[in-house]
């Protein structure tokens, strides 16, 4: 009988087969992933059993063998009427719960008639201005039995108040309501930026909602602590884990500081993760999250096992979806959905194939929903609890993620907690650094994206996209606003708003309770938000993109050096560096793309001005003129490009500065390209664009004879 082969025996054989090539995979997390894992890698690891502490293998013993995960679709667009019809069609087709997407005007606390939201109403979610809108949104949907998830943070107080009052008016008391409100404001200061108030009053809002729901809404989750938006902003798995768990710890601590018993509210806390294409890393991330949360809650003194049990919703990645060869997105979403399920999610939203460029159509939403139904009904995945438990690789990866995330959490604790750590700007800086590094890997072809930087098709399939008539939606919302205001008891409404303002100023009373009373008197979302804004102020930040990522990654790249030399040539001609402004107009706070462009262009030698978030076209014009820029790169991720960018170009012409070049980048459907060109846009860079080629194209627009790349990315390919 021969001895059992060892790892070194395997390694010797593998080395011979690959001629000594190093098979170690160096991940973006900084992990050195071996090409083989054995029992030796897990000899000191005991993941336990599903349903038992520390819950690494799942929060429930039976997992999907008893009940499958909840199938959700994140949806909302245009008017409440349109969204309601979409919800009802989806529910009839097998969807089990609702997940509501609000438009950016709503997120930022503005009524639809506010001048700052002209291009945002109804575009990236549903417009909600009043309780009447919320009633229409849930018309014929039984709120006493339907679980409702609402992605809302900035305007969380009026939106949750409207939901409570709309349910009351349909005959459903608030104690019967089930679902989740996101209410995760710390993450907004890091990545998504749909905040309204400064950090400290925002944290008071979070605490007040936890307290109110604990007293009045026992079936409702008061907060969904979100790593998803960090994931989409470019965070590594370790960063997403550490910062999200640290956010949860901060919320729990703040609630306890108000006198709440941890076991009274902790069982209603939930989490939300983004699921990307690194299949096993995403599975391990979810298992690690449960172990980390268990330990955090034990440290905070939780006694009830349900307080230490991390329950989660997941959503497949939006940033992994591509405009090029878009039907590949069905494959990507399926792989990500499998990772979420094998990681043990409690509910799941699958993105649609067209969401790289637009809101989903009924056709694409059906495919996304059926992806989950096929996984649930046809694969056998639901027949075994934690089927990957015991995998040498998965268990070792889980343990590594726990270890690395704990190191960052300790740094956060040393800084005084997550509120202070967020205020320092460090988590935002780290995530932006990771995002820039990811983009360089894609641009250099080190990270392969099929159909984008490898196996590119000569011509792309045109797919039907959903287009929202923003002007029509806004006029409809304004008409309803005027009707509600004309029919309400104005004195009673104003008295309720005054009481809310006093409660905010005097730090007395529960803000959600006061807002519910205002909603009962038909106060609008903007009025409730303003009552608090008058006391708290409106928070604002200016982007500070990271430096040096591109220059380091491309130090030996010939094409990069061509661009750098081109910038030098333009500088010699102008007597100064070519100056570009990166503009974020409208109420969209997603700034990953804008920050990556600003970072890369600065590294290549451009003088880059990063405009503040949430500018109007007029404010962008004024800043561009004051800074003396040569070009404006307008970043659009929320479908406002057809309104806001043409308006900027008109204002430039009126100011006698049509010479300032305007380009557009971001999530822009191919079908909109000609519209933008006709409006005067001189370069369009959609999803998947190579950043170096964007810079080369900018040099051409500035009059430099930039040579083409050997394998040049077509203009408007990104």
Beta bridge partners of 461: none
584 annotated active-site: yes
Q: Please pick, among 406, 584, 641, 704, the residue that the annotation labels catalytic.
A: 584
Write down the number of H helices and E strands in the chain: 27, 16
**Chain position carrying tokens 């309720």:** 496
Contact 109, 155 (CB under 8 A): yes
**Chain position carrying tokens 């107080």:** 157
What are the DSSP calls for 203-228, one per residue?
A: HHHHHHHHHHHHHH-TTEESEEEE-H
Distances (CA, A) of 147 to 79, 99, 144, 179, 645: 21, 9, 8, 5, 39
> Residue 359's closest CA among 197, 250, 469?
469
User: Of all helices (H) and strands (E), which one includes residue 662?
Assistant: strand 661-666
Q: What is the DSSP letter of 175?
A: G
Q: Please pick, among 113, 354, 522, 588, the residue that the annotation labels catalytic.
A: 588
Contact 596, 608 (CB under 8 A): no
Report the C-alpha gap between 702 and 629 in whole angstroms.
Answer: 11
> Residue 524's closest CA among 134, 258, 25?
134
Q: What residues have CB less than 8 Å from 370, skipping those under 6 apart? A: 94
**Chain position carrying tokens 């990271």:** 546
Q: What are phi and psi for residue 591, nearest 5 degrees?
A: -120, 15
Q: What are phi and psi for residue 663, nearest 5 degrees?
A: -120, 160
Q: Pull the structure tokens for residue 108.
A: 């930022």
Full 3-state SS string of 238-252? HHHHHHHHHHHHHHH
* CA angle centred on 3, ends 2 and 6, rounded to 5°: 135
Q: Pull the structure tokens for residue 402.
A: 């726990």
144 annotated active-site: no
Q: What are phi and psi for residue 35, nearest 5 degrees?
A: -75, -10
Contact 396, 390 (CB under 8 A): no
End-to-end Cα separation, the chain, in angstroms: 61
Q: Please pick, among 107, 123, 187, 229, the residue that the annotation labels catalytic.
A: 229
> Residue 357's closest CA among 90, 23, 670, 707?
670
Q: Pull the structure tokens for residue 180.
A: 């989740």
588 annotated active-site: yes
Q: What are phi and psi for residue 267, nearest 5 degrees?
A: -65, -15
* CA angle centred on 132, ends 127 and 133, rounded to 5°: 20
Beta bridge partners of 315: 274, 349
Full 3-state SS string of 497-558? HHHHHHHHHHCCCCHHHHHHHHHHCCCCHHHHHHHHHHHHCCCCCCCCCCCCHHHHHCCCCH
228 annotated active-site: yes
Contact 264, 380 (CB under 8 A): no
552 annotated active-site: no
421 annotated active-site: no
Q: Please pick, among 195, 212, 228, 550, the residue that the annotation labels catalytic.
A: 228
Contact 116, 587 (CB under 8 A): yes
Contact 551, 163 (CB under 8 A): no
* DSSP-based three-state secondary structure for 256: helix
* DSSP-based three-state secondary structure for 370: helix
Report the C-alpha gap between 398 and 283 in whole angstroms.
Answer: 8
Beta bridge partners of 466: 359
Q: Please pick, among 41, 64, 74, 630, the residue that the annotation labels catalytic.
A: 74
Q: What residues have CB less than 8 Å from 156, skipping those under 6 apart? A: 181, 182, 183, 185, 205, 209
Q: Please pick, among 400, 590, 641, 661, the residue that the annotation labels catalytic.
A: 590
* DSSP-based three-state secondary structure for 289: helix
Please identify every residue annotated as catalytic.
Answer: 74, 228-229, 584, 588, 590
């Amino acid at each position: 009988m021969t001895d059992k082969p060892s790892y070194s025996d395997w390694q010797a054989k593998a080395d011979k087969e690959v001629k000594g090539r190093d098979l170690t995979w160096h991940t973006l997390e900084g992990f050195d992933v071996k090409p083989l894992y054995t029992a030796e890698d897990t000899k000191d690891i005991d993941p336990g059993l599903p349903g038992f502490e520390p819950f690494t293998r799942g929060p429930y013993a039976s997992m999907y063998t008893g009940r499958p995960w909840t199938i959700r679709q994140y949806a909302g667009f245009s008017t409440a009427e349109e969204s309601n019809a979409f919800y009802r069609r989806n529910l009839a087709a097998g969807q089990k719960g609702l997940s509501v997407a609000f438009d950016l005007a709503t997120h930022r606390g503005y009524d639809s008639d506010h001048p700052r939201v002209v291009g945002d109403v109804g575009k990236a979610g549903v417009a909600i201005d009043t309780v009447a809108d919320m009633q229409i949104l849930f018309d014929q949907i039984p709120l006493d039995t339907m679980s409702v998830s609402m992605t809302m943070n900035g305007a969380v107080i009026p939106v949750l108040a409207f939901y409570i009052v709309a349910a009351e008016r349909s005959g459903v008391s608030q104690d019967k309501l089930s679902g989740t409100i996101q209410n995760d404001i710390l993450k907004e200061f890091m990545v998504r930026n749909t905040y309204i108030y400064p950090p400290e009053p925002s944290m008071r809002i979070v605490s007040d909602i936890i307290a109110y729901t604990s007293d009045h809404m026992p079936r409702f989750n008061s907060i969904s602590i979100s790593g998803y938006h960090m994931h989409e902003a470019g965070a590594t798995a370790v960063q997403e884990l550490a910062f999200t768990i640290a956010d949860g710890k901060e919320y729990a601590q703040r609630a306890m500081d108000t006198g709440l018993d941890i076991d009274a509210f902790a069982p209603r806390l939930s989490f939300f993760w983004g699921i990307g294409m690194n299949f096993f890393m995403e599975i391990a991330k979810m298992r690690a999250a449960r172990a980390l949360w268990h330990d955090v809650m034990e440290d905070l003194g939780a006694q009830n096992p349900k307080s230490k049990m991390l329950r989660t919703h997941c959503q497949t990645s939006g940033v992994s979806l591509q405009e090029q060869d878009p039907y590949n997105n069905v494959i990507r979403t399926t792989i990500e959905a499998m990772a979420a399920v094998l990681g043990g999610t409690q509910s799941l939203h699958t993105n649609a194939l067209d969401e790289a460029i637009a809101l989903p159509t009924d056709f694409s939403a059906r495919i996304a929903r059926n992806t989950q139904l096929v996984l649930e009904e046809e694969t056998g995945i639901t027949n075994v609890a934690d089927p990957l438990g015991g995998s040498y690789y998965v268990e070792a990866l889980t343990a590594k993620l726990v270890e690395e995330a704990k190191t960052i959490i300790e740094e956060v604790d040393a800084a005084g907690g997550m509120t202070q750590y967020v205020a320092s700007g460090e988590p935002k800086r780290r995530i932006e650094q990771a995002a820039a590094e990811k983009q360089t890997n894609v641009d250099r072809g080190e990270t392969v994206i099929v159909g984008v930087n490898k196996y590119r098709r000569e011509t792309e399939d045109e797919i039907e996209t959903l287009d929202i008539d923003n002007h029509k939606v806004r006029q409809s919302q304004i008409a309803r606003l005027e009707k509600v205001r004309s029919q309400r008891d104005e004195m009673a409404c104003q008295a309720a708003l005054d009481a809310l303002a006093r409660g905010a100023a005097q730090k007395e009373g529960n803000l959600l309770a006061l807002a519910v009373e205002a909603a009962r008197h038909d106060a609008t979302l903007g009025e409730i938000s303003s009552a608090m804004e008058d006391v708290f102020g409106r928070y604002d930040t200016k982007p500070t993109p990271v430096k040096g990522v591109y220059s380091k990654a491309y130090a030996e790249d010939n094409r990069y050096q061509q661009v750098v030399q081109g910038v030098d040539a333009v500088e010699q001609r102008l007597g100064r560096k070519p100056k570009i402004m990166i503009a974020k107009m409208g109420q969209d706070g997603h700034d990953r793309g804008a920050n990556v462009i600003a970072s890369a262009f600065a590294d290549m030698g451009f003088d880059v001005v990063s405009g503040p978030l949430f500018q109007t076209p007029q404010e962008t014009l004024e800043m561009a003129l004051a800074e003396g820029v040569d070009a404006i790169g307008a970043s659009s991720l929320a479908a406002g490009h057809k309104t806001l960018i043409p308006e900027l170009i008109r204002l430039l012409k009126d100011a006698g500065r049509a010479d300032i070049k305007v380009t557009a980048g971001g999530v822009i459907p191919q079908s909109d390209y000609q519209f933008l060109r006709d409006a005067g846009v001189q370069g369009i860079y959609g999803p998947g664009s190579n950043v170096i080629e964007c810079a080369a194209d900018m040099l051409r627009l500035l009059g430099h004879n930039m040579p083409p790349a050997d394998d040049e990315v077509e203009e408007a390919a990104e």
